[in-house]
Amino acid sequence: MIAWIICLYYADHEKITAVLLKSRTGEFDLESILFLKLRNLGIHDLGCTGECINLERLDLSGNNITNLAPLASLRLLSVLNLSNNRVSNLEPLRTCDVLQNLNVAGNIISSIENLHCLVSLRKLENIRLKDNTYNYTNPVCRNSSYRAVVLEMFPNIKVLDGERVVGRGSDLYQLCKDIDDTIKAGLYKNGQLVEHSDCKPWVEDSYWEIKRSNNAIIEEAYKQFNDVLHECRLLNNRATHVISQTERSMSLKKQPKQYAI
């Protein structure tokens, strides 16, 4: 009997039901749910998700979703993560007027035309169609002019595929670039790279440690922050590898040629 109940519970996850939502959030009324995280549950049917009309943040990553129709009623949705699903049509999102952050990396969006339905979303400033950290992408990303066309379609966009864009909303990007240029300038003297063995981090190692909380929104922020840190570590490893290869190559070029006598 217990095994049957467990099987029924997990089978229920293929479709989002009121029972699933209430058990996941602890909310008795679906309209009271503001944040919802349903990752990697094998969901293919959004079911009654549209009844959560006050939902602000929704994470459905890692499922088998194809039809987004139930999301059309979520007029207060600001953050939506649909990465690693099977979505090809974004049309239902047209009515999500306050949507700011959309992640659809790892789906089957095939062309730029599939993105036209989002043009009316004036608050949309962060779009992710590919994610190199997890090797998620979409067929549309293979288009050589993909990035330029997307930036032209969405003039208010600040971040595309995790990268701060140049133009409107790029103040932070420029600030980081200026700081980076200043640091690089300080590493060179008379055109030669100067090693600084006494360089220290700005803060103590434990400064960035975050205490876990039961609050769902803080939990999500913690997860996103860790994702960013993970991506930064990967980028740092790649940069270190490239620098190492470059230095090795330059070292080999500088070595005097030896001729056999």
pLDDT tens-digit map of 84-135: 999 999 999 999 999 999 999 999 999 999 999 999 999 999 999 999 888 9
Q: What is the pLDDT of residue 5?
A: 35
Whether residue 205 is predicted with pLDDT greater than 90 in this model: the reply is no
Per DSSP, the three-state class of 260 is: coil
165 closest CA partner among 178, 152, 151: 151
Mean pLDDT across the stretch 2-22?
63
pLDDT at 212: 46
Predicted pLDDT of residue 3 = 35
> Residue 97 half-sphere exposure, CB side, CA atoms within 13 Å?
5
Cβ-Cβ contacts under 8 Å for 45 (sequence gap 6 or more): 14, 15, 16, 67
Distance from the Cα of residue 162 to its chain's centroid = 6
What pLDDT does 174 receive? 54
What confidence tens digit (pLDDT) does each residue in 148-186 have?
899 889 988 888 998 887 554 455 555 555 565 566 565
Q: How far apart are CA 196 and CA 193, in angstroms?
A: 10
Q: Which residues pair with 81 in a beta bridge?
A: 59, 103
Counting residues of the chain whose pLDDT is more than 70, the rounded percentage is: 69
In what side-by-side order are the strands of the sheet with 126-128?
35-37, 57-59, 79-81, 101-103, 126-128, 159-160, 163-164
